[in-house]
């Protein structure tokens, strides 16, 4: 079955909002074996949204729309659904009661404008929304499945997982799609490709995509076919070849993040971690604590943005900073051992760098970053010259620090 | 002039990558007065990409494509350009020399696969890429402007700003578009709408969109017309009406983030800030240090994820945690005053909460969050019941903490 994702809202077309919903929905549809062939965006304009829905109805079987179901005047999705599918809006007293109850539970009086949200297209199915006031709308007829979801990412995620995915999983005719992602870090895309292109050919029905980001390069295998066992075997063969060739860069083959892998290793080894951050300002701690349950291995850290904080809270000797600068291997190492001691953890990891965009010198250009690790066995540090883009540098530094911890825990050099 | 943004890559259709490039490009085109009417995505498939480019050529004047220009086999954009525009690929020795130089500067041997990137469509214009190896490609003929950019976000941003935008700005026939965004925080969308709908009608030619996120609700005004002065006057009138009605929630009318506004106030008042974070794990420090130059007012902080760190590094008395719990007003306040002292800053702000998704009780459900502020004048704290979504809760907590600092600096309640 061929699917299209249609995201709705001027804020997406004018670029004031990044479209995270499309990726979330796409991933779930893909895992159901649907072929997401089109992704499009329409603004808050009656004619153009109508054009977009009609185009989608011509070219796909399944359309998942998101956005424009809110209570305000710029929310037009219901109007257009009524026009395209020739429906009227009907007032639902029970829906209104539900919305009122929700506001009451939060101790907030319902703004009367929210009454709009109890008006819904005649004869449609509805998907409950347990955290927001806009219901999902489903029209399933003449071989076309159309679903409109609200646009708030949190609501979309829950409604897709709990309502839409189970509904779509019941439909017959989905292909077998098997994906496997080998997530690598510490090597650039073209260097990976150089290694991989001398490997045996990838089996028919399997494709390989390189997905680079500041966190590493994902090697994404996708097998497509009709017999699950055959597709699985082909994907396994391809994954096995890749694994042999680039094993040392792969941190996981599950759909997990580097910080989860690090957390799992720490739990397995019964070790704890502390962080000392300068240029990343807390992002490494923020990344580690994305994982629920991270308190089992992450104790905390010090954000040592000012040099006095490095000295006073991490015990970095004044002479080290004076002689080598705050951005130096020596300072990074002193931060790592200092935080390990101050916080009382088995491992201490530290980042100090010039994130940019200004502040570089000939000697230490923007992007110069030192990452250090203190363990019971001793101290190590590495120097990296990252780029000129502040946020990219910060994200890359966090990733490198996590990978340094991972490698140390695995006994890799 | 009507424009379409076409993003290319299987990773976008299967949802393994969020499409940040589309938003970046859209925003820049919009500011140039172009009417971005369509946004679409095609996978790494020759036929479907050809279909997408041909559809765009039929319906718009300006097409900006991004992605698929890398050196690996899944990068097909150049092949499709050659087919649609009937071109051959030509080898450019000077381009290869440039790419080799770039690798040499980083002390890395160029993988030979990167030679592909010196093959470019005949008779096209090229946009330099000063941080990556793929050039941009421009074909401007028969009233249609087509540009293909690489897909790496960092490269896209620089090439759009430095190369594409100046090129497009020279073209005649752009409408006048004037945008004004009033950024609010601390009030929900429908409550804002209730206040705003009793205001005088928005002038003709001006539209208002509500853009909610975990950081607040942006009120986005867009004025469109042909005479700049008239459009400006209409937008000014609309903004003035909004400003009067909801002034206390507006933190900026520039395209700036809350943390920048807080930073500016701190600089103006010659004050410094320190952070103490539990559930947010460093994200507040990470947000404050997004702004280059934040070392003028942000000194650092303590990530006190484990309770012992709260006690030992922030001096939170053991009895306070024992009697009230780590997630309590008392603990938050002790963290705020503790970090203010430990780090030596004028203001200390602290976050402690149950980010979830598990760990709640009847008394303190998931989402319960306390945010405290210590100033020379004393201590305050606030309790919030956020949602059930871990990352949303963490982002909202960071935003509330920043807004608490902002209000304190402005002397607002």
Beta bridge partners of B64: B5, B147
Residue of B nearest to A309 (CA): B343
Nearest-angstrom CA–CA distance, B331 and B320: 6
Q: How far is B260 from chain A (nearest CA, A)?
A: 15
Predicted TM-score (pTM) of this structure = 0.81
For residue B303 the two structure tokens come to 């990530």
Q: DSSP secondary-structure letter at A19?
A: B
Residue of A nearest to B355 (CA): A292
Question: In chain A, what residues touch B19 (CB-CB under 8 Å)?
Answer: 18-19, 22-23
Pick the closest to residue A363 from A400, A335, A328, A398 (CA basis).
A328
At residue B354, does pLDDT exceed 80? yes
At residue A165, does pLDDT exceed 80? yes
At residue B275, does pLDDT exceed 80? yes
For residue A358 the two structure tokens come to 């200004």
User: Closest to A300 (Cβ–Cβ): which among B11, B295, B303?
Assistant: B303
Is residue A409 very low, low, confident or very high in pLDDT (cuts 50, 70, 90)? very high
pLDDT > 70 in chain B, percent: 99
Question: In chain B, what residues touch A11 (CB-CB under 8 Å)?
Answer: 209, 211, 220
pLDDT > 90 in chain A, percent: 72
pLDDT by residue (tens digit) across A76-120?
A: 999 999 999 999 999 999 999 988 887 887 667 888 888 888 999
Q: Which domains does chain A have, with CATH numbers?
A: 2-169 (3.40.980.10), 176-252 (3.30.70.2860), 259-410 (3.90.950.20)
Is residue B11 very low, low, confident or very high in pLDDT (cuts 50, 70, 90)? confident
Residue of A nearest to B24 (CA): A15
For residue A346 the two structure tokens come to 């088995």
Average pLDDT for B163-190: 88
Q: What is the pLDDT of residue A355?
A: 94
C-alpha neighbours within 13 Å on the C-beta side of residue A370: 21
Q: How far is A70 from chain B (nearest CA, A)?
A: 9
pLDDT > 90 in chain B, percent: 73
Burial class (CB in 10 A: 0-12, 13-18, 19+), B271: middle
Does the beta-carbon distance from A37 to B29 stay under 8 Å? Answer: no
Average pLDDT for B237-260: 94
At residue B72, does pLDDT exceed 90? no
Nearest-angstrom CA–CA distance, B33 and A51: 23
Nearest-angstrom CA–CA distance, B296 and A338: 24
Is residue B103 very low, low, confident or very high in pLDDT (cuts 50, 70, 90)? confident
Nearest-angstrom CA–CA distance, A366 and B368: 40
Q: How far is B265 from chain A (nearest CA, A)?
A: 19
At residue B388, does pLDDT exceed 80? no
HEC profile of chain B: CEEEEEEECHHHHCCCCCEHHHHHHHHHHHHCCCEEEEEEEECCCHHHHHHHHHHHHHHCCEEEEECCCCCCCCCCHHHHHHHHCCCCEEECHHHHHHHHHHHHHCCCCCCHHHHHHHEEECCCEEECCCCCCCCEEEEEECCEEEEEECCCHHHHHHHHHHHHHHHHHCCCCCCEEEEEEEEECCCCHHHHHHHHCCCCCCCCCEEEEEEEECCEEEEEEEEEECCHHHHHHHHHHHHHHHHHHHHHHEEECCCCCHHHHHHHHHHHHCCCEEEEECCCCCHHHHHHCCCCCHHHCEEEEEEECCHHHHHHHHCCCHHHHHHHCCCCHHHHHHHHHHHHHHHCCCEEEEEEECCCCCCCCCCCCCCEEEEEEEECCEEEEEEEECCCCHHHHHHHHHHHHHHHHHHHHHCCC
At residue B106, does pLDDT exceed 70? no
Residues 6+ apart with CB under 8 A from B111: A190, A191, A193, A194, B71
Nearest-angstrom CA–CA distance, B245 and B98: 56
Nearest-angstrom CA–CA distance, A259 and A398: 10
For residue B9 the two structure tokens come to 């890559």
At residue A189, does pLDDT exceed 90? no
User: Closest to B39 (Cβ–Cβ): which among A41, A74, A210?
Assistant: A41
Report helix, strand or coil for A299: strand
At residue A145, does pLDDT exceed 90? yes
Is residue B24 very low, low, confident or very high in pLDDT (cuts 50, 70, 90)? very high
Assembly ipTM: 0.81
- Give me the torsion for CA of B19, B22, B23, B27, rounded to 10°: 170
Pick the closest to residue B149 from B22, B58, B52 (CA basis).
B22
């Amino acid at each position: 079955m061929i699917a299209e994702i249609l995201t709705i809202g001027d804020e997406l077309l004018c670029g004031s909002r990044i479209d995270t919903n499309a990726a979330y929905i796409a991933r779930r549809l893909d895992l159901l074996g649907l072929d997401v062939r089109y992704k499009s965006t329409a603004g808050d304009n009656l004619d153009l949204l109508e054009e977009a829905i009609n185009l989608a109805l011509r070219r796909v079987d399944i359309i998942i729309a998101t956005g424009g179901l809110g209570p305000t005047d710029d929310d037009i999705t219901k109007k257009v659904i009524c026009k395209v599918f020739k429906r009227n809006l009907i007032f639902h007293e029970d829906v209104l009661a539900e919305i009122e109850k929700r506001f009451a539970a939060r101790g907030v009086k319902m703004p009367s404008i929210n009454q709009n949200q109890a008006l819904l297209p005649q004869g449609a199915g509805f998907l409950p929304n347990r955290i927001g006031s806009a219901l999902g709308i489903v029209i399933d007829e003449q071989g076309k499945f159309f679903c409109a979801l609200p646009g708030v990412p949190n609501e979309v995620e829950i409604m897709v997982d709990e309502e839409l995915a189970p509904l779509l999983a019941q439909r017959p005719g989905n292909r077998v799609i098997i994906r496997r992602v080998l997530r690598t870090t510490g090597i650039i895309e073209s260097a990976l490709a150089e290694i991989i292109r001398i490997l045996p050919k990838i089996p028919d029905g399997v494709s390989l995509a390189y997905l680079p980001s500041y966190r590493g390069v994902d090697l994404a295998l996708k097998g497509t076919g009709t017999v699950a066992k055959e597709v699985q075997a082909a994907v396994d063969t391809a994954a096995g070849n890749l694994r042999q060739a680039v094993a040392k860069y792969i941190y996981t083959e599950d759909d997990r993040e580097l910080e989860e892998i690090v957390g799992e290793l720490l739990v397995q080894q019964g070790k704890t971690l502390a962080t000392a951050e300068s240029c990343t300002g807390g992002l490494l701690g923020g990344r580690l604590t994305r994982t629920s349950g991270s308190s089992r291995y992450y104790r905390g850290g010090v954000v040592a943005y000012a040099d006095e904080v490095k000295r006073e809270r991490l015990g970095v000797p004044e002479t080290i900073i004076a002689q080598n600068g705050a951005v130096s291997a020596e300072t990074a190492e002193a931060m790592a051992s200092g935080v390990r001691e101050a916080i009382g953890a088995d491992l201490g990891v530290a980042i100090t760098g010039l994130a940019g965009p200004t502040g570089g010198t000939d000697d230490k250009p923007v992007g110069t970053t030192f990452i250090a690790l203190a363990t019971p066995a001793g101290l190590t540090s590495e120097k990296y010259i990252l780029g000129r883009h502040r946020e990219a540098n910060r994200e890359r530094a966090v990733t490198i620090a996590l990978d340094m911890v991972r490698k140390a825990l695995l006994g890799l050099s």
